[in-house]
Amino acid sequence: MNAKMIIGGAVLAASTLAGTAVAGPFSANIGVTSDYLWRGVTQTGDQAAIQGGVDYENENGFYAGTWISNVTWTTTPGYEQDWYLGYGFEAGPVGLDVGYIFYNYPVGTAKEDFGEVYVNASWQWLSGGIAYNTNKEDSSADTGDLYLYVSGDFEAQNGIGYGFTVGRYDFKGGSDYDYNHVRLYMSKSDFTLAFEKNDTDTAFWGAGSDDHRFTVSWAKSFDL
C-alpha cells in the first residue's frame, strides 16, 4: 500500500503506482509517469516524475510507510515525501481503512507541509473515501479542507484492468479554489494509460491546469 493509493484509491495513485501485490510484511515500489497528477492537478508542470516508496504491513491490518516523488509546484522545485500509518480490515465483501498521512516538502523555505486523516471503504468493485485536513505547517492558513472521491475498478478476462474516479476538493470556507475532477484509466501488467480532467480555477492553480491530460505510467512492487 502506498500513499497515493491510500487517499483516493485509483485516483491517487493513482497517480501512478498500480504495481503488483506483494506478500511479505516489508515491500517497496518504484515507478515512472509522464505527469504526476494528484487529485486531478499536475504536481510536475506536465513533466515526468520518478516515484517510489517503502511499506510495512502487519498481518493484523496495521500498516505504515513512506513515498517520494519529484515535484515542481513548490516555491523551490524539489520533492514530496509522504509519511503515513493506518489500519485496514475486511468484513465479508466490505473493506475499511482509516489512517493519517503527512505531506512533507523539504526543499524551499515556504511552509507547505500539511496532514490529513482519512477513511476509505470498498465493496466489490466500488470504493470511496474522505480525507480531512487536520494540520498545516503555515499556522496562518485554515485547516478543515475536505476531499471526497468514488472509484470503480474492473478487470476483463484478458487481464486488462479499467476503471474511473470522480473526486471533489472543498477548501475551508467555501473557497473559489474548490473543484471537481474525473479520471479514466486502463492497465495491463505494470503499465497504466489514464485520462484526467478537472474544472479548477486556472488563476490559482496555474495556466492550463484545467486542460485534459493523458498519462502513461509504469510501476512495480516487490518484497524486501
Q: What is the mean pLDDT of residues 10-19?
A: 38
Query: What does the alpha-carbon distance between residue 123 and residue 94 come to, in Å, rounded to a whole number?
Result: 5
27 pLDDT more than 80: yes
For residue range 121-153, what is the model confidence (pLDDT) as tens digits? 999 999 999 999 999 999 988 999 999 999 999
Q: Please report the pLDDT score of residue 15 as a whole number.
A: 37
For residue range 60-116, what is the model confidence (pLDDT) as tens digits? 999 999 999 999 998 888 999 999 999 999 999 999 999 999 999 999 778 999 999
Q: Domain residues of the chain, as ranges?
A: 3-223
Q: Please report the pLDDT score of residue 23 as a whole number.
A: 64
CA neighbours closer than 13 Å in the CB half-sphere of residue 186: 5
Give the pTM.
0.90
Q: Does domain 3-223 have CATH number 1.10.510.10?
A: no
CA distances from 215 to 26, 203, 220 (A): 29, 23, 17
